């Protein structure tokens, strides 16, 4: 191939006369120097078909990513609606305790709510409440949580999730 670069144009054309190919449409032999490129819409070769498939795949990926975003947003909104519905039912409970429903965060299990008293009004939490409704099932669990709190068997630890998904304790 390197010697082709050193020869003049006429010699390069004569070398092309020795390169033989097969037409993908009519299956006849031809010399490279006899080729005429025709840019019509017609049968595509394997490379053009591969590029078309790649393009379709990329378009499908974009559509799927967009659909995934939509589904996730719908799920978030459904979760918000459900949490608001539960909190609305519980609002009389919060009012009777002198707590703001906006300070409450729904957890549902193992307790129903964590209330950060003062969070909504002052951005300064004075007290932390763990609220759960009385129920026969799960009462043992509630009692065990109550024992942990009364015996001060809890700890404050801060964890951060980095952009690459790693959990790091501070």
User: Chain centroid to CA 28: how far?
Assistant: 52
pLDDT, position 75: 93
Name the most confidently modeled range: 26-40, 51-65, 91-105, 120-134.
51-65
pLDDT, position 136: 58
Asked if 79 and 88 count as a contact pair (C-beta separation under 8 A), the reply is: no
- pLDDT, average across residues 65-84: 90
Tell me: pLDDT of 3 over 60: no
Region of poorest pLDDT, from 90-94, 143-147, 153-157: 90-94
Q: Write 40-48 long-range contacts (CB < 8 A, 24+).
A: none
Compare 99 and 52 and report the one with higher pLDDT: 52
Global pTM value: 0.44
Q: Residue ranges per domain, the chain?
A: 2-34, 46-169
Cα–Cα distance, 121 to 39 (Å, whole number): 71
């Amino acid at each position: 191939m390197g010697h082709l670069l050193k020869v003049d144009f006429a010699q390069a054309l004569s070398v092309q006369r020795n390169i033989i190919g097969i037409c993908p449409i009519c299956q006849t032999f031809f010399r490279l120097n006899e080729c005429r490129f025709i840019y019509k819409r017609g049968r595509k070769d394997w490379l053009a078909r591969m590029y078309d498939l790649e393009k379709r795949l990329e378009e499908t990926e974009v559509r799927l990513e967009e659909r995934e975003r939509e589904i996730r947003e719908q799920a978030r909104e459904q979760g918000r609606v459900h949490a608001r519905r539960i909190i609305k039912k519980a609002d009389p409970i919060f009012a009777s305790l002198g707590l703001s429903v906006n300070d409450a965060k729904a957890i549902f299990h193992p307790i129903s709510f964590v209330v950060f008293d003062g969070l909504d009004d002052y951005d300064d939490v004075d007290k932390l409440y763990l609220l759960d409704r009385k129920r026969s099932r799960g009462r043992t669990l509630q009692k065990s949580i109550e024992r942990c709190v009364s015996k001060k068997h809890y700890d404050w630890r801060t964890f951060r999730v980095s952009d690459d998904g790693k959990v790091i304790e501070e």
